[in-house]
Structure 1
Amino acid sequence: MLKVLGTGVVAGSVFSGSAAAAGDSRFETLEGEGRDVTGDGEIDLQTTAQVCRNGTPRYLGIWMSEAAFDLITSNEAEGDHQHPEGGVSYNLELPELEGVPYIYAGIDWGPQGHPPTPWQFPHFDLHFYLEEQETIAGIEGGIAEYEIPDERIPEGYVTAEALGAPREVVPMMGEHLLDPTTPELGGEQFTHTLIWGSYDVDDDGLGDSIFTEPMVTSDFMANLDGEVVAPVALPAEVPQSGYYPTEYSIQHSADEGHLVTIQNFVWRDA
């Protein structure tokens, strides 16, 4: 069962360490689907959400215990899908929140990372999907042939083609849009970044936003003591009306584990 993390008054922070904050009546913490990664009979990897008492979303998140993190990053965990070199994936339904279009989380551990070179470090790809699992599972790999209207590309983001690479569509995932100013693409050490996903889900020749993805190295997560918050750029045109995040947060407490959230939601009309 999910360990109920504190609900501190600082926006986005849920590691308050305070009994008073844990009982804060302004927020309700919801549990989504979970897994017993370590096999001890307890859920130690789970989606979670928090809503304000007026029903507006505070965050959607992925929580994992310290023990689950250690087992996954030791490349010895069993996942919903197994990958080379000890990589694993889990697909977990998110708590259903009124007005929030995100449906499920795809949690991917890559012990070798993946191209391009700046991201070839052990890290988690934490996808918050806007489409059903069946739709994402049906995505075939290849090179994108659809167009993405400018208004459907988050502000400041580009396709891989803008960086001289092919617009690869990853099977059962989609095309990745990236911020070319992210520090690791400029030669700095990769720690964390935010990716958007796109794919032509309705076969009209135009790409749609299909996921929001914080990408975080295991080293950064393990050595973090507290919280970091970074912005999420939004496209001018969203796939459906609803609440969309303007920030993501990475949090770690030795007592309470790891939590990665998308948060600070704003309403956008389609």
Structure 2
Amino acid sequence: MTIKKAVLALACFSMGLEATAAAPENRATGANTSELSSFIGDGQWGTTLLGDKLAFGDGAYRAFSRLDANGIPLSVGVVFHKDTLEGMPGGEGQPMHDGKTCFDVDGNNDIDIHSECVGGHSKTMHFGDNSTPFNSITINWEPHGHIPAGVYDKPHLDFHFYTASQTERHLITPGPCPGLMNCAQEQEAIVPVPDQYIHPDYMNTQLAFAHMGNHYVDSLSPELNGGDYTHTFILGAYDGRITFYEPMITREFLLTQPNSCFPIKQPQAFQESGYYPQSYCIRYNPWLEHYKVSLEDFQYQQAW
């Protein structure tokens, strides 16, 4: 059974698997709504729509989307105060994972939080109504990084911008296969995305994880060619379809207080019509002491 065929049957159950919380105020971010909207807008005309907010570390993340006067998307992303990078879970003597995605691999009726869980510590927020394909973002804090060793084993944050629904995502269930995947679903997850829908520089890692899916990496990324890992851009897929966009950013790089945008390599064609980003941005505002991680420069693409 494919994920999509199972959605209706398990929708009610899966919606409760991971709690999200909307909050009308910005108390935990340390900035008022007007200040956040100004930072999010970068001085451009438009409307800022604030989505969910969740505490993390010593601060909080706030999801947002931004539209121009005609309702065309300008950006989607999250903002967070610099204090959010302090007090993160998974320090010395603390578990590396939050226990949301685990499987009893050795069958001893006891979950080893260190070796039988994946995904680090995660929070999911919804953007609310917007005109992009992205409905939510899951932020995974990896206090010791993850595989492959020597590449992504630095403390970092994974920002998963999902086009797949949370119902679909949670139906990718844990199991004993690599990535703690249900073995039958692992084979679905690694089905190649047709060539026209993926930039030729991206390669299928066949590394699939429960509650996520498969991962495609840019073969020309510095960290895969003898350079350092500071930030990178990954694409997620399941059963031959793109399901998430993922900037991965080290905590060390965020602490340099960057203010830059980076191009997203575009495929020849798109599987569904809609507005898609041309770049991802990592910005720090020293006056507000806030970070912003966002997808930007949206262009409409017709599916074919």
Q: TM-score range by the shorter chain?
A: 0.7 to 0.9
Contact 1:73 1:218 survives alignment (8 Å): no
- CA RMSD in angstroms comes to 2.7
Is 1:36 equivalent to 2:52 in the alignment? no
**Secondary structure of the corresponding residue to residue 234 of structure 2:** strand
Identity over aligned pairs, percent: 27
SS for the counterpart of 2:129 is coil
Shift of 1:74: 6.8
- The one-letter amino acid paired with 1:35 is L
Counterparts in 2 of 1:82-97, with a 5 A limit? 87-97=120-130
Candidates 205, 214, 236, aligned match of 1:175: 214
Structure 1 equivalent of residue 107 of structure 2:
none
Please give the residue correspondences for 1:259-270 in structure 2 after superposition, counting only pairs within 5 Å.
259-270=292-303
Rg comparison, structure with higher value: 2
Question: Does residue 251 of structure 2 align to residue 212 of structure 1?
Answer: no
Q: Does residue 138 of structure 2 align to residue 106 of structure 1? A: yes
CA contact (8 A) 2:79 2:293 kept: yes
**Aligned-pair CA distance for 1:91:** 0.9
Confirm or deny: 8 A CA contact 1:182 1:193 kept in the other structure: yes
Alignment partner of 1:151 is 2:183 = no
- Per the alignment, in what secondary structure is the counterpart of residue 184 of structure 1? helix
* Partner deviation per Cα, 1:45-67 (whole Å, 9 max, x = no partner): 11112111121111101112222
Distance 1:248 1:123, change over 3 A: same
TM-score (norm 1): 0.80
What one-letter code is carried by the residue in structure 1 that aligns with 2:194?
Answer: P
2:6 aligned residue? none
User: Offset of 1:80 from its aligned partner?
Assistant: 9.3
Q: Report how many residues are paired.
A: 241
Please name the residue that 2:22 is paired with. Answer: none
- In structure 1, the residue matched to 2:62 is 46
The aligned amino acid for 2:241 is D
In the other structure, the counterpart of 1:65 is: 81
- Distance, in Å, in 1 between the alignment partners of 2:36 and 2:48 is 8
- 1:82 & 1:46 partners in 2: Cα distance? 23
Q: 2:147 pairs with 98, 115, 124, which one?
A: 115
- The answer to whether the 8 Å contact 2:57/2:85 transfers is no
Q: Is the 8 A contact 1:152 1:238 kept in 2?
A: yes
Specify whether residues 51 and 188 from structure 1 end up closer, same or farther in structure 2 by C-alpha distance, changes over 3 A only: same
Q: Using the alignment, how far apart are the partners of 1:135 and 1:123 within structure 2?
A: 25
Instruction: Give the Cα separation in 1 of the matches to 2:229 and 2:235.
Output: 17
* AA at the equivalent of 1:34: K
Distance 2:125 2:265 in 1: 24
Using the TM superposition, give the Cα deviation of residue 7 of structure 1 relative to its aligned residue in structure 2, in angstroms.
4.2
Change beyond 3 A, Cα 1:82–1:136: closer
Separation in structure 2 between the aligned mates of residue 53 and residue 232 of structure 1, nearest angstrom = 25
SS in 2 for 1:92: strand
What residue identity is the alignment partner of 2:163? L
Distance in 1 (CA, whole Å) between partners of 2:190 and 2:90 is: 38
Q: What stretches of structure 2 of length at least 5 have no aligned partner?
A: 1-24, 103-112, 174-180
The answer to whether residue 282 in structure 2 is matched with residue 250 in structure 1 is yes
Aligned to 1:193: 232
Within 2, Cα distance between the matches of 1:73 and 1:233?
33
3-state secondary structure, aligned to 2:276: strand
Question: Could you tell me how far apart the structure 2 residues matched to 1:195 and 1:66 are?
Answer: 24
Of 238, 262, 265, which aligns to 1:230? 262
Secondary structure in 2 matching 1:44: strand
Contact 2:203 / 2:219 at 8 angstroms: preserved in 1? yes
Mapped partners of 1:157, 1:145: distance in 2: 14
Seen in structure 2, the aligned counterparts of structure 1 residues 56 and 101 have a Cα distance that, compared at 3 Å, is: same
**Cα displacement string for residues 124-166 of structure 1 (whole angstroms, at most 9, x for unaligned residues):** 0100000110101111423555232111223421112xxxxxx
CA contact (8 A) 2:101 2:211 kept: no
Does the 8 Å CA contact 1:80/1:89 hold for their aligned counterparts? no
Q: Distance in 1 between matches of 2:210 and 2:265?
A: 25
Q: 2 CA distance for matches of 1:105 and 1:136? A: 12
